[in-house]
Amino acid sequence: MARRKKYKFPKTTIERLSYYFRALEDLSKRGIDTVSSEALGGKLNIKSSQIRKDLSYFGDFGKRGMGYDVKYLLKELKYILGLDREWSVVIVGAGHIGAAMANYDSFEKRGFNIAAIFDNDEKKIGKEINGTPILPYDNIDDFVKQNKIEMAIIAVPAAAAQAVADKLVESGVTAILNFAPVAVQLDENVRCLSVDLTTKLEALAYYMSYSQDKLWKIYS
Amino acid sequence: MARRKKYKFPKTTIERLSYYFRALEDLSKRGIDTVSSEALGGKLNIKSSQIRKDLSYFGDFGKRGMGYDVKYLLKELKYILGLDREWSVVIVGAGHIGAAMANYDSFEKRGFNIAAIFDNDEKKIGKEINGTPILPYDNIDDFVKQNKIEMAIIAVPAAAAQAVADKLVESGVTAILNFAPVAVQLDENVRCLSVDLTTKLEALAYYMSYSQDKLWKIYS
DNA sequence: TCACCCATGTGAAAATTTTAACATACGCCG
DNA sequence: CGGCGTATGTTAAAATTTTCACATGGGTGA
Ligand SMILES: NC(=O)c1ccc[n+]([C@@H]2O[C@H](COP(=O)([O-])OP(=O)(O)OC[C@H]3O[C@@H](n4cnc5c(N)ncnc54)[C@H](O)[C@@H]3O)[C@@H](O)[C@H]2O)c1
Ligand SMILES: NC(=O)c1ccc[n+]([C@@H]2O[C@H](COP(=O)([O-])OP(=O)(O)OC[C@H]3O[C@@H](n4cnc5c(N)ncnc54)[C@H](O)[C@@H]3O)[C@@H](O)[C@H]2O)c1
């Protein structure tokens, strides 16, 4: 809270802060100490005024005439985004998506600690993915409670998603990243974001259909 | 074009049309012939007025007092979204994400035909995933041209993404679904959507950090 | 020290998107 | 056959988000 200047800002701002964070990491790695909103925007295809406004919701991080100190802004964004701590996460569904997520080491680097993967397939239980054990789905309740898991990734078939979500929430999970193509119904104090890959492809198909005659570009 | 009534509508509308489409498929499977915007919205957590407005950009599909004929609206949405034809797609990067996408059979059912997967790892070339061959990345140009590929999924490390995108576009691809965590710079007649999983997790982390004192709910 | 450059932070305007409200039309039932 | 309940399509208002424009203040170099 401390860092928030205004109480109201676009939902999209948070997403962009994450982009800024990553771009700044990259700059930092390349030994760049300072960046202007203009330069950062160029990297990300985002207007400089948008960046300045986004940041202004949280504080005054830049120096007029100079731009932003990369390391300092990184530290601030880390704090704002809640990345200055560890998050304990479980994955439900040890299928293709679950495995991809479990294998992605950058999550650990960012502080997302994948504590376990749960599945109800006997053949998968007992194995592990990238060092993370696959446990029986029936034990998920105890595990979440005992390990104070706050976040979960749902990577089970659509038909099972709502039941899994309910169980997770009942056990204490309050944030969910959902890959199943259904709108999960949840209590309003549970944060849930969905990733819908089919929809992305279909949106591309739409744009393709109309890009041929270029009308979308003229009229959208 | 034929089906479009207005020339200007929210970008988010297309995404929602895809949700409507899927929800209607589900209703259809369950033998339901007719649905109201209210009922459909309930399923998807979307306000009924939003649904009616979205549809109204493209035509008059409902019957007053009655609602929408599920099969008819499905047919119309299929046409609008460009799903009444086959799309030829290639995947670049036979890693975890590439494999997950190649293994997801629902894409084929929707008309997205995964023609090939490309990788530059000798050990992977020659194998196949879910019946789709993994081919040498160096051949991608010829393949895309010969098979008139229009869409591509980029699932290579961030460092390689821009080069891959450039090559794809040069070969004739005009729509890209990008999983690499970089803002790919493209000619404006190329459609590109990105899926950024890290950003999703970070956004959840943000909301978690502030949901504790519930301020986000009051002030957002 | 002062003048000049530069890029921030911000308040106001513009653009976009969502929500509300209701007149309109459809079908059913009596 | 006409009135009634119902849910659409639409118009207008509200809310949200982006963009613009510039006054402001920090740094640099003469
Ligand atoms: N793979 C993709 O590219 C892709 C694309 C779009 C959407 N999705 C969605 O993502 C989700 C996961 O996809 P996937 O390809 O990884 O599926 P998958 O079939 O590879 O894996 C699903 C896993 O969930 C497990 N499971 C099923 N029911 C369960 C339950 N009740 N409790 C615990 N585990 C259970 C299965 O044993 C399996 O291991 C699905 O909802 C799918 O529709 C995937
Ligand atoms: N796995 C995840 O859950 C996850 C999460 C967030 C983001 N991502 C992003 O998605 C992308 C793919 O991730 P992944 O986990 O599948 O990676 P991965 O390492 O499993 O697979 C990458 C594949 O790309 C191939 N490759 C590398 N350079 C190439 C080139 N120039 N041409 C052709 N092929 C090349 C590699 O041989 C490998 O097979 C990455 O950009 C990653 O940052 C993945």
Beta-bridged to residue A72, according to DSSP, are: none
| Domain identity same for A123 and A51 | no
User: Is B33 in the same domain as B108?
Assistant: no
- Could you give the CA distance from residue A58 to residue A9 in angstroms, rounded to a whole number? 10
Residue (of A112, A107, A195) closest to A155 by Cα position: A195
pLDDT of A204 over the 70 cut: yes
Domain-located, residue A105: yes
Predicted local distance difference test score (pLDDT) of residue B210: 77
- For the Cβ of B203 lying below 6 angstroms from any atom of ligand 2, the answer is no
Q: Which three-class secondary structure string do you get for A96-122?
A: HHHHHHHHCCHHHHCCEEEEEEEECCC
pLDDT of residue B217: 34
- Look at residue A41 in the predicted model and tell me its pLDDT: 98
Residue A154 identity (one-letter amino acid): I
B96 assigned to some structural domain:
yes
Average pLDDT of chain A is: 93
Cα separation, B28 vs B40, whole angstroms: 12
CB contact under 8 A, B112 and A201: yes
Predicted local distance difference test score (pLDDT) of residue B188 = 87
Q: Are residues B32 and B67 in the same domain?
A: yes
> Residue B211: what pLDDT?
53
Q: Say which residue, A163 or A210, is predicted with more confidence.
A: A163
* Residue of chain A whose alpha carbon sits nearest to that of B107: A198
A62 lines ligand 1 (CB under 6 A): no
Phi then psi dihedrals of residue A190, to 5 deg: -100, 125
Question: Which residue in this structure is represented by tokens 């999970």?
Answer: A173
Distance B112 CA to ligand 2 centre (A): 21
**Whether residue A142 sits in one domain with residue A52:** no
Q: Are residues A93 and A194 in the same domain?
A: yes
Name the pTM for this structure: 0.95
Q: Cβ–Cβ of A197/B19 closer than 8 Å?
A: no
- pLDDT computed for residue A132 by the predictor: 98
CATH number of the domain at A153, please: 3.40.50.720
Is B217's CB within 8 Å of A189's CB?
Answer: yes
pLDDT of residue A212: 43
Determine the pLDDT at residue A1: 39
- Location of structure tokens 């729509």: B175
In a domain, B220, yes or no: no
Q: Which helix (H) or strand (E) holds A15?
A: helix A11-29
User: What is the H or E stretch that residue A63 is in?
Assistant: strand A62-63
B70 and B93 inside one domain: no
Quote the pLDDT of residue A7: 73
* pLDDT value for B28: 97
Domains contained in chain A, number:
2
How would you classify the pairing of strands A128-129 and A132-136? antiparallel
Query: Could you tell me if B179 and B195 are in contact, meaning their C-beta atoms sit under 8 angstroms apart?
Result: yes
Contact list, A110 vs chain B (CB under 8 Å): 198, 201-202
Question: Is the predicted pLDDT of residue A33 greater than 70, yes or no?
Answer: yes
- Answer yes or no: is pLDDT of A214 > 90: no
Cα-based angle B19, B206, B218 (whole degrees, multiple of 5): 80
Q: Are residues B128 and B190 in the same domain?
A: yes
And the tokens for A119?
């599945």
Q: Is the same domain home to A169 and A188?
A: yes
- Choosing from B90, B92, B96 the residue with most ligand 2 atoms within 8 A of its CB, the one to mutate for a pocket test is B96
Cα–Cα distances (Å) from A15 to A12, A85, A95, B197, B201, in that order, read 5, 19, 27, 11, 10
Sign, CA dihedral B141-B142-B144-B145, equals positive
- Residues A76 and A96 reside in one and the same domain: no
- Other CB atoms within a 10 A radius of the CB of residue A157 amount to 12
Best residue in B14, B107, B190, B204 for a mutation probing chain A (most A CBs within 10 Å): B204
Q: Is B127 helix (H, G, I), strand (E, B) or coil?
A: coil
Residues B94 and B139 in one domain: yes
Q: Which nucleotide is nearest to B66 (CA to C1')?
A: D7
Decide if B2 is inside a domain.
no
CA distance A168 to A165: 5
Same domain, A109 and A182: yes
What pLDDT, in 10s, does the model give residues B69-124?
999 999 999 999 999 999 999 999 999 999 999 999 999 999 999 999 999 999 99
Look up residue B115 and give its amino acid: A
User: What Rg value do the Cα atoms of chain B yield, rounded?
Assistant: 20
Q: What is the pLDDT of residues B30-75, one digit of tens each?
A: 999 999 999 999 999 999 999 999 999 999 999 999 999 999 999 9
Mean pLDDT of A165-190: 96
The pLDDT-based confidence of A210 (bands split at 50, 70, 90) is confident
Whether residue B131 has pLDDT greater than 70: yes
Please indicate whether residue B158, judged by its CB atom, sits closer than 6 Å to ligand 2: yes
Which residues have CB under 8 Å from B5's CB, separation 6+? B56, B57, B58, B59
A179 CA → ligand 1 middle, Å: 8
Tell me the β-bridge partners of B117. B91, B134
Per-residue pLDDT at B153: 98
Q: Tens digits of per-residue pLDDT, B185-202?
A: 999 889 999 999 999 999
What Cα–Cα distance (Å) separates residue A163 from each residue in A28, A159, A166, A167? 43, 8, 5, 6
pLDDT digit string, tens, across residues A58-84: 999 999 999 999 999 999 999 999 999
Whether B104 is in a domain gets the answer: yes
Residue A52 Cβ under 7 A from any strand C atom: yes
Predicted local distance difference test score (pLDDT) of residue A46: 97
Q: A 161-180 residues with CB below 8 A of B?
A: 174-177
Nearest to A18 among B43, B202, B214 (CB): B202
Residue B123 lies in a domain: yes
Is a pLDDT exceeding 70 seen at residue B213? no
Please report whether residue A148 resides in a domain.
yes
| Predicted confidence (pLDDT) per residue in A82-123, tens digit | 999 999 999 999 999 999 999 999 999 999 999 999 999 999
Q: Band of the pLDDT at A8, cuts 50, 70, 90?
A: confident
- What is the identity of the amino acid at A124? K
Residue A125 sits in which domain range?
Answer: 87-199
Q: Do A209 and B82 touch (CB under 8 A)?
A: yes
Tokens of B16: 């929602």
- Is the per-residue pLDDT at B7 higher than 80? no
User: Buried (b) or exposed (e) across B179-200, using 16+ Cβ within 10 A?
Assistant: bbbbbbebeeebbbebbbbbbb
Query: CB of residue B13 closer than 7 A to nucleic acid strand C?
Result: yes
Q: Count how many Cα atoms sit within 13 Å of the Cα of residue A117 in the half-sphere of its side chain.
A: 26
Same domain for B193 and B99, yes or no, is: yes
Tens of pLDDT, residues B159-185: 999 999 999 999 999 999 999 999 999
Is residue B3 a part of any domain in this protein? no
User: Dihedral of CA B153/B159/B164/B166: which sign?
Assistant: positive
